Structure 1
Amino acid sequence: MRAQRTPTMVAAAAAVALGLTLAGCTGPTGSAPNDDGTSAATESAGSADGGNGVQKGADLATAEFAVSWRDAVDIAKDGFPGELTEIELNWHGDSYAYTVELLSESHEHTAVVDAATGDVVENSGEAVESSDMPEKRSEVIEYEGLVPWDEALSTALDAQNGAVNEWKLEGTPRGPLWQFDIGTGSGEDAEVTINAETGELIEHDS
């Protein structure tokens, strides 16, 4: 015997079809840059390739990481209450990671923070001689209000076009500096240095 289709059954089928149609129209969530210039992926952070699928040798000007450099500084400070003197992003072991250097009243500390997971994969530190402390203190970075990473990057790429292989924010006695290692196509990197307080191009070492 053939079953009759009631109005209730027809309405339910229509609702299911509509739901499937809407689901098919939904695309993957995109990503947007953080205020600090690094791109933060909104998808799952885990990957065997080293940071949201970012492979070794990627262009760090466009690569997306779940952990921003400011996140990495906060994570490092959770384990050691010091002030930032340097942070660098490069390939470490089997993934991209931030190397964060901090300074306290008597010690300097280095934490390596995975750029995909936020895990601290290495910790090390040592005491600082009192005679060396004035120079070390001159390298502390007051990073609030600095020229944003993306603006410094744009200036660096105007000076040297190519893929960014490494970058760092370094404290020096003359003030904080953004430094970008940019591929030249000849197998060697050019180091481009930007004043992190003014955004001015300081050096283009090719």
Structure 2
Amino acid sequence: MNEFEAARRRLIDELKADGIVTSRAVEEAMLSVPRHIFVPRYIRHYAYQDTPLAIMRGQTISAPHMVAMMCELIKPRGGMRILEVGAGTGYQACVCARAIGEGEVYTIEIDPYLTLYATINVIQAGYWGMVKVFQGDGKMGLPKYAPFDAILVTAAASTVPQPLIDQLAVGGVMVIPLKEGDYQRLYVIEKGKDGVRRRFITYVSFVDLK
């Protein structure tokens, strides 16, 4: 076991002890997807600390506990079709892809440079094909590939974008941070036949959704 693998194992053990990682699917995904290859080389030694890391273009890669929490909240299972808004480095999309095993993860990034960076990382991690990377305005979603069983939004929005609600399948869930006054709150949005419900999870801190 090399240095990165040992650090990754320790991190996941801590997340399990804290009750963040609760399912076998997410545990295996977090252990299998090497976070260090998704960050610039000069900060790789911080890859398995449970903290967000500034990457480039004013963006961050979420802390491992937040990646695990968001993945747990969608209850990953085989055959899911997932949309991620805000590809960033591509790490969370690959974790979700590994957690569902079979299915498709679509991730959309507004910044062309980060779109390329995420694409390269996804290829290097071995998830190209299962993870599909697009450049565009994530608030508009990807209607061509809807409906989605789950939508993950990795930046804080002022309101829930209506196109994302429209593209969520009945019975599906959206995990999204919302700006409310001076705070950000993470919600699970559940879409049923009779409308949508929101459930508060925790306070968070994300970059703003562009």
**Structure 1 length-normalised TM:** 0.30
Bigger Cα Rg: 1
**Structure 2 length-normalised TM:** 0.30
